[in-house]
Amino acid sequence: MTASQLDWYLQINLKARQLRLLVALDDFGNLKQVADISHVTVPAVSKALSELEKGLGLQLFTRTHHGLQATAYGECLIRHARNMLVNLHHAREELRAISSGTEGKIHVGVFPAWTSALLPSALARLKERSPGTNVLVTEGTIHTLMPDLLQGKIDLLIGRLPPRHAHHEVDELELLEEPLALMTGPAHPLAQKKKMKWSDLRNYPWVLPPTGSQLRDPLERILERHGISLSNNYIETLSTHLIRSYLHMTNAVAMMAAAVAKDPIQPLKILPLTLPRLMRPAGVMWSRNRQLTPGAQLLVSCLKDVADKL
């Protein structure tokens, strides 16, 4: 490989279909599977890969007993190929939006606790200001959504901010200092208590954040500090809707953002026990390696307006 050969191929001859081939080979690691999803023959896929490696003068994959394995060259090019394909997808959507008279589409990721107040109000405000800006919302956890943010599959990520400097590639804006609270359904034996001791929580079932989630360790630490052992009677979920309904049906206790208790249809009771600040505020995050579209910038502005009023 010479530098001039590599420069020429990357700048003049590299095509979008070759980028898609690289990503597919990395995803499946198998020529036959890639051939099947591409509706071509295995020899055609093998030939396309050989031509790409020959043009670059680099070996991108090695064949192993477990299938194709990307080399260091392959890993580098695949990472950039994913970014380029995302950018092409965004460009296509923006061009379609311009040609159809709309103002683009925003892909938003959100943590479950923030689907009931902050985001809906911000979306309503966005639609008032720009009816032609459309939004695709995906609910998930930081573990499922942060990779999508870094890869450009979503534009904005909304929810409880992770520890500072946990993700150096991400910019953020703090929006809402929403305290956490312990809560139950309105018919719970503890719901009408004006004063409580931590020991009153013993022997009740729990709704816990899943192991490894942002809230699980802080909750366990504070209960431990007050001598509360979690029983074996619990469920694990981050679904606000499931937790709210479950608390109405059982004597379980859960920890969530205090705003969740104010739902007019299924209100919950906040227990009179003070929690220390366990987490950072809610906020919005975006990749610092990609410029926000005008629509995404407008949604950030709407989120800030709503958070200021909340």
Give pLDDT < 70 ranges for the chain: 1-3, 90, 94, 96-103
Domain boundaries, the chain: 3-82, 103-177+281-309, 180-270
Q: What distance in Å separates the CA atoms of residue 44 and residue 26, rounded to the nearest whole number?
A: 17
Predicted local distance difference test score (pLDDT) of residue 179:
82
136 bridge partner residues: 107
Does the domain formed by 180-270 have CATH 3.40.50.300? no
- Give residue 264's pLDDT: 78
| 103-177+281-309 against 180-270: fold identical | yes
Q: Under CATH, which architecture does the 3-82 domain have?
A: Orthogonal Bundle (1.10)
Q: What angle do CA 16, 21, 24 make, to 5 degrees?
A: 125
Check residue 118 and give its pLDDT. 85
Looking at residue 3, its pLDDT comes to 62
Q: The tokens of 147 are what?
A: 């990779």
Give the pLDDT score at 102: 54
Whether 283 and 118 have beta carbons less than 8 Å apart is answered as no
Give the pLDDT confidence score for residue 269 in this predicted structure. 95
Alpha-carbon separation of residue 302 from 4, 8, 163, 295, 305 (angstroms): 48, 45, 24, 11, 5
The pLDDT score that the predictor gives to residue 61 is 92
Q: Which fold has domain 103-177+281-309?
A: D-Maltodextrin-Binding Protein; domain 2 (3.40.190)
